A and B are shown apart, each in its own frame.
Chain A
């Protein structure tokens, strides 16, 4: 069964450093998303992406965040200057029809 894959599974970084989280969505999907989940809390929407542009973004997704689909298969989330409060599990998701999102296993980001 096709699945969304995310790398790395764990990322440790120093505060102020840039990080790039990588995702390979399911191949025929057209809509892409990033969510995050702070430990023990709910899954929070960050951004949706369709047709090579951002469709929606939340208040969390400020100027420190950016997304890119650099080629036909990858979808990345960049955090330019990480803060302690960026520590969370980051999930990528994709869907063919902007319903029924399929999620990856996540990247655990730890900012020290």
Chain B
């Protein structure tokens, strides 16, 4: 199928803590994955991507981990800040011209 799902609809963390947002995907043929951040009233904003030939990729304060064996993707945010509060979506390219989004996880950061 084409489903991309998220385990937790809401994640609450304290400022300064690390956040981990998880995602399960079902299409084993997908070879490219992206994490997007969406703030209220705005379009999705690219955070980080990873190809299926990699297990891990790091950006600024963010790390994406890919476990192809169990078809699992995670986004780790280090030292979470109030500005990180948003809905986070994982997405997969099930074909080169079709990016499918997951359900989304709301991240709430408390002072």
Q: What residues of chain A have their CB less than 8 Å away from a CB belonging to chain B?
A: 4, 31, 33, 35, 42-45, 48, 50, 55-56, 58, 91, 93, 98-106
Tell me the bound Cα distance from A58 to B97 in angstroms: 11
| Chain B positions within 8 Å of A35 at CB level | 101
B89 lies within 8 A of A100 (CB): no
B103 lies within 8 A of A101 (CB): no
A42 lies within 8 A of B101 (CB): yes
A33 lies within 8 A of B99 (CB): yes
CB-CB nearest in chain B for A108: B41
Tell me the bound Cα distance from A45 to B94 in angstroms: 12
Tell me the bound Cα distance from A98 to B93 in angstroms: 9
Chain B nearest CB from A49 CB (Å) reads: 9
The 7 closest A-B pairs by CB, nearest first: A103-B43, A55-B97, A48-B97, A43-B101, A56-B98, A56-B97, A103-B44
Chain A interface, >50% SS class: strand
Any A CB within 8 A of the CB of B96: yes
Any A CB within 8 A of the CB of B66: no
Given A43-B89, A99-B93, are A91 and B43 also a contact pair (CB < 8 Å)?
Answer: yes
Contact of A45 among B42, B96, B98, B102 (CB under 8 A): B98
B101 lies within 8 A of A101 (CB): no
Contact of B43 among A31, A44, A100, A105 (CB under 8 A): A105
Tell me the bound Cα distance from A103 to B42 in angstroms: 9
Q: Which of A42, A55, A102 has the most CB of B within 10 A?
A: A42
* Sample (6) of A-B pairs whose CB atoms are under 8 Å apart: A31-B97, A43-B36, A98-B96, A100-B34, A103-B45, A106-B42
